């Protein structure tokens, strides 16, 4: 399976600021995904990022709040913009390597004060 | 809207005490059902994919089964190292029909005491 790394692993930020999370994969993949995992809640898909096209956002998530870049087949970034305490969460990226099978990175734990 | 419900929310077992975790789902056009294990502070680790009712998969002490409405993760003679949160997810087309997406349940926190 693919090896996925995320940076930073955790951060504490002030409200109103933005944070960019990086996701690096050790092999080329077509589809990358960004999820949010809030305390006591299930993993929720934010968007799907395919290389060479605009990210597709799920209901309740918008590009202005969560802009995504996908410059090549091994890298993606998610920015959490104009943060508020409600954005405190774990953010995870994943890749689909075999049909339907997604493999996840270690996550970025974000705390917004 | 796709829905996944896992039960129980938490399960505490003694080492060697077998049990099952349940995942019930409603989805339009199921492509696959997935089980993941998640340890504290880590991302989910893929365990199994099930594609059709009647299918079973096994890995060490774990066996996953699938019906048209639910899936079970059976744990036989668990050990303390099996302690983790077990997540179930279904994959189907998103509302726009442009991509497949995973919808997760909230998970079952399994604790196995020595």
B43:A40 CB<8 A: no
Provide the token pair at A44: 């929720």
In this predicted model, what pLDDT tens digit does every residue of B45-62 receive, in sequence order? 999 999 999 999 999 999
Q: Has residue A98 got a pLDDT over 80? A: no
Domain count across chain B = 1
Domain positions in chain A? 28-103
Residues 6 or more apart from B97 whose CB is under 8 A from it?
none
- Percentage, residues of chain B above pLDDT 90: 82
- Give A1's pLDDT tier (boundaries 50, 70, 90): confident
Question: From the list B44, B87, B98, which residue is nearest A56 (CB)?
Answer: B98
What is the arrangement of strands in the sheet containing B70-75, beginning at the earlier edge strand? Answer: B3-7, B19-26, B70-75, B62-66, B56-59
What CA–CA distance (Å, rounded) separates A31 from A33? 7
Average pLDDT rounded to a whole number, residues A13-39? 95
Average pLDDT rounded to a whole number, residues A95-110? 89
Range of the domain at B75: 3-113
Q: Which pLDDT does position B73 carry in this prediction?
A: 98
Average pLDDT rounded to a whole number, residues A37-48? 92
- Give B31's pLDDT tier (boundaries 50, 70, 90): confident
Q: Specify whether the CB–CB gap between B75 and B16 falls below 8 A.
A: no
A104 touches chain B (CB under 8 A): yes
What CA–CA distance (Å, rounded) separates A25 from B50? 25
Backbone angles phi, psi at A27, to 5 degrees: -145, 160
The CATH H-level (homologous superfamily) assignment of domain A28-103 is Immunoglobulins (2.60.40.10)
> Which chain A residue lies closest to B30 (C-alpha atoms)?
A100
A89-98, B14-23, B78-87, B89-98: range with lowest mean pLDDT: B89-98
Q: Which residues of chain B have a CB within 8 Å of the CB of A44?
A: 104
Question: Mutating which of B24, B102, B107, B108 best tests the A interface, going by the most A Cβ atoms within 10 A?
Answer: B102
Q: Has residue A17 got a pLDDT over 90? A: yes
In this predicted model, what pLDDT tens digit does every residue of B5-15 receive, in sequence order? 999 999 999 99
Mean confidence (pLDDT) of chain A: 93
Mean confidence (pLDDT) of chain B: 93
Average pLDDT rounded to a whole number, residues B90-113? 87
What CA–CA distance (Å, rounded) separates A46 from B85? 22
For residue B83, the tally of other CB atoms under 10 A from its CB is 17
Q: Look up the CATH number of the domain holding residue B17.
A: 2.60.40.10
Question: From the list B44, B94, B95, which residue is nearest A104 (CB)?
Answer: B44
Cα distance from B45 to chain A (closest Cα, Å)? 7
Give the pairing of strands A108-112 and A10-13.
parallel
């Amino acid at each position: 399976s693919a090896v996925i790394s995320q940076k930073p692993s955790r951060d504490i930020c002030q409200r109103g600021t933005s944070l960019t999370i990086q996701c690096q994969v050790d092999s080329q993949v077509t589809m990358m995904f960004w999820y949010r995992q809030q305390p006591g809640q299930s993993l929720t898909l934010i968007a799907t990022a395919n290389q060479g096209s605009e990210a597709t956002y799920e209901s309740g998530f918008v590009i202005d709040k969560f802009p995504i870049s996908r410059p090549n087949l091994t890298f993606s970034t998610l920015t959490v913009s104009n943060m508020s305490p409600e954005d405190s969460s774990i953010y995870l990226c994943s890749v689909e390597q075999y049909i339907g099978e997604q493999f996840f990175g270690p996550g970025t734990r974000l705390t917004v004060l | 809207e796709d829905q996944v419900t896992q039960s129980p929310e938490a399960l505490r077992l003694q080492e060697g005490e077998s049990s099952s975790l349940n995942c019930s789902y409603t989805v339009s056009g199921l492509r696959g059902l997935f089980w993941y294990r998640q340890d504290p502070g880590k991302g989910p680790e893929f365990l199994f994919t099930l594609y059709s009712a009647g299918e079973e998969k096994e890995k060490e002490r774990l066996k996953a089964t699938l019906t048209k409405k639910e899936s079970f993760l059976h744990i036989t003679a668990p050990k303390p190292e099996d302690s983790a949160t077990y997540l179930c997810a279904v994959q189907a087309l998103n509302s726009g029909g442009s991509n497949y997406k995973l919808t997760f349940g909230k998970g079952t926190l399994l604790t196995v005491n020595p």
